[in-house]
Structure 1
Amino acid sequence: MPRFEAQKSPMITYQIRQYQDSDHERVVDVFTKGGEEYIPSTFRHVLLLPRTLLLLLGVPLALVLVSGSWLLAVICIFVLLLLLRLLAGQPWKEYVAKCLQTDMADITKSYLNVHGACFWVAESGGQVVGTVGARPVKDPPLGRKQLQLFRLSVSSQHRRQGIAKALARTVVQFARDQGYSDVVLETSTLQQGAMTLYLGMGFKKTGQYFISMVWRLVDIYFIQLSYSFPSA
């Protein structure tokens, strides 16, 4: 089983190695918590949207004018906030569920058994604390051979210690060794830490889009990024 040299910092020692089937439960846990932790920040984002502010002010005010009841208006605000909280959580829950039902259901089959693909974990203290996968793009632009980075996640207790960058670099080095011309990936506008990491590594923005109507409702779009090797 391929292993990589252990990385050290004043706070943590970790190693990046290829995924094993015995890692699956912990990998799913790290990935799921990593995705769902964006729900609170999505809720705050939704609350600041102009249309949301208009809704929170306009509907209760209309109730006061029609019924004359401030109590009904206050209850309305609480109900609206609850509905907005549910709306903020829906896209992330759907995203995580879709991943767990597709490639994350059988990582060995989806990555390790695919030519030109791989899945790695970061391990610290005998425990998986980070994940990343990569698979070849099925229909790349003419003349390009592209590898797509997937499922980069680090447990909240092990962040700001260089693990995410080391995992991303592992994918870039793998792509270089396998003769790919580009590494491509997608991240959301809400994931500013990820954006800073990728742009700092030399990735360039190539496009953006809403992946579904639910994401459009919360006004969060996905950004496409690409890292091209000079010799490509």
Structure 2
Amino acid sequence: MEDLDRWLTHTRFSNPGRHARSIAALSADVARLNEIIQGVLVHSSWLREYGLDTPRLDAGARTTLPFAERLDDILARDPRPLEAQRPPELRSIGTCRDYALMLCAILRAKGIPARVRCGFAAYFHLVWEDHWVCEYWDARRRSWRLSDAQIDPMLKRQNRIDFNPADMPREVFLTAGEAWTKCRRAEADAGDFGHGETTGMWFIKVNVLRDHHVLNGRETSLWDRWREAPAASRTVCDEELQLLDSLAARLEQELIAATPEWIV
């Protein structure tokens, strides 16, 4: 049995801080928590689908905030209890990582081991699209389960999603390590994995490193600047393969020092 206490301990980014009392009052049911989170967040890439103008997207929308600061932003826009579903124009704008971090933080506060995971989803535009979800420990089944708090009724309809977002089948989401290993074994095509037009083994490497960092308590996006990587560096060198194979097999191992400057 792995040390589940590791996934109960708050990081600086998952700690509810001054909001601990209001978080304690929330349900511990994952499906209900997903609904609550959907009622206070809106994804920066889907503003039009929620009837919002894209000019509302500010420069900080892609910056992953600490959970306590995200709650400050939510309540500044609408001071009602978190259980009250906000109209889209009063929700805080974030990305899939914010949905995953929020669910992870609440579950940890409830005494449920949880962690944010970086990987690839099979239910958006690409065959395997860059995405973040929450992984939580199910004590009854004694296993890790996946939940995507972003998947609300609109996204279900838009993407024809028919699974339960609070308990996702493993075949619809691959962690970065799983994706790396499948491609290295020629069980999957690396060109099917990526973000927009950026696909292939280099981007899978990016997500291996991001999942490695997040499993070591670095959920923030401040270090995550893969878009700044120059074209010449968007490769996977032979010297990197052994390290990346090792990380893919055990992403939660102690944080490595040798990471590219654009991701640290």
Q: Taking structure 1 as the reference length, what is the TM-score of the superposition? A: 0.24
More helix by share: 1
Q: Taking structure 2 as the reference length, what is the TM-score of the superposition? A: 0.22
More strand by share: 1
